[in-house]
Copies of this chain bind each other. A is one copy, B any other.
């Protein structure tokens, strides 16, 4: 069982993650992981903070000479700005008198519910962990799963398909082309025409002091038939993917394959007919997004997630002070307009993690060599049917 825990406050000294259950002898490319962290920090329409940071992961255990040992992998990401926060976020000692408690909950955040649930006077104790900053560890953790999948020819791609009111209509191109173009785009959009309109829209939102959400799509290629199971509800891979994506900050919707459109289309046009040629089962369509009955069916896994706009606006929202119960309208100094391209990178990570988990559940094995043997013999066995 592959599992992880993460820890860390947005302005604390460091973020930490531990992954347990990795096989041994997996080449662990640190630069690959750092590159994913870098990708999370990109995107047109980001504010100042992304420039302060330049996240790099430090591995503290579980890896020797670039290979996993089958033992837990611990990773930290230092907060480059910690010297400016070491008083306000001090682990030990009394709160210095200079610390100003945050008592005004922001709409669209965990602030109000968190302060009540955890009985906190200072909302900072809520927002520091609820912050999207913590998606950095999700990316670190998911990137390790991605290296595992890549070893077996499974790749995970993410691209933005909607941003605000602009939508990518059916893009003509292979998955590889989509991935390659999205990678070059500042907004992670494959279609250059749409990209242009999206950037204009971000500029307009910025000028208006507003923010934008959007939808990203994750595509997994190379996943074998048979990941996930219909045996019990909590084994269904579609359910697990939905949880993984919906647990990312600001995600409010998830769909698989054609998703909500499946609900609006007659059955005769929804299901992917099955053919057989060149020694393998074939589909002309992939409306199911690679998942039937909670199990991968050999087609690319396709999932989409809807991200709400960032709730920290220049045009501030109404709230109340929890101490005085007086209404207020916060003024803020800086904010991102849009974080959808970055969220797509987080989405890739969470999907990779979930697929990686189900992959190890199916193929077992303690070393990469053992998994390779198990994997090959399974592919051979089902290839003969």
Contacts and interface: CB of A to CB of B under 8 A. Distances in A.
A361 B362 contact: no
A257 interface: yes
A14 B59 CA distance: 10
19 contacts: A5-B20, A6-B233, A60-B91, A63-B91, A105-B274, A112-B297, A117-B229, A117-B366, A212-B266, A214-B263, A215-B260, A226-B366, A239-B244, A268-B313, A270-B311, A275-B327, A360-B364, A363-B365, A373-B381
A119 B270 contact: no
A252 interface: yes
- Give the size category of A's interface with B: 35 or more
Contact of A364 (B115, B162, B242, B363): B363
A98 interface: no
A107 B273 contact: yes
Given A25-B119, A254-B242, A113 B292 contact: yes
A16 B14 contact: no
A367 B8 CA distance: 19
A9 B61 contact: yes
Given A18-B16, A295-B114, A319-B274, A129 B164 contact: no
A205 interface: yes
Given A212-B266, A260-B215, A90 B110 contact: no
Contact of A253 (B263, B274, B310, B362): B263
A187 to B, nearest CB: 14
A71 interface: yes
Nearest to A78: B60
B91 A306 contact: no
Interface string A125-139: 110111000000010
Contacts of A23: 118
A184 interface: no
Given A138-B233, A374-B364, A281 B247 contact: no
A215 B293 CA distance: 19
B24 A120 contact: yes
A369 interface: yes
Contacts of A239: 242-247
A229 to B, nearest CB: 7
A231 B360 CA distance: 16
User: In the complex, which of the residues A215, A231, A243 has the most CB atoms of chain B within 10 Å of its own CB atom?
Assistant: A231
A288 interface: yes
Interface in A302-342: 306-311, 313, 315, 317-320, 322, 325, 327, 340
A211 interface: yes
Contact of A165 (B241, B253, B264): B264
Contacts of A48: none
Interface in A62-101: 62-66, 69-74, 76, 89-95
A191 to B, nearest CB: 17
Given A65-B95, A113-B225, 13 more contacts: A5-B18, A7-B20, A9-B69, A16-B61, A70-B125, A119-B369, A130-B294, A226-B366, A233-B244, A238-B252, A253-B260, A276-B325, A364-B364
Nearest to A365: B364
Contact of A113 (B119, B231, B273, B296): B296
Given A256-B253, A297-B112, A263 B8 contact: no
A340 B18 CA distance: 30
A174 interface: no
A369 B381 contact: yes
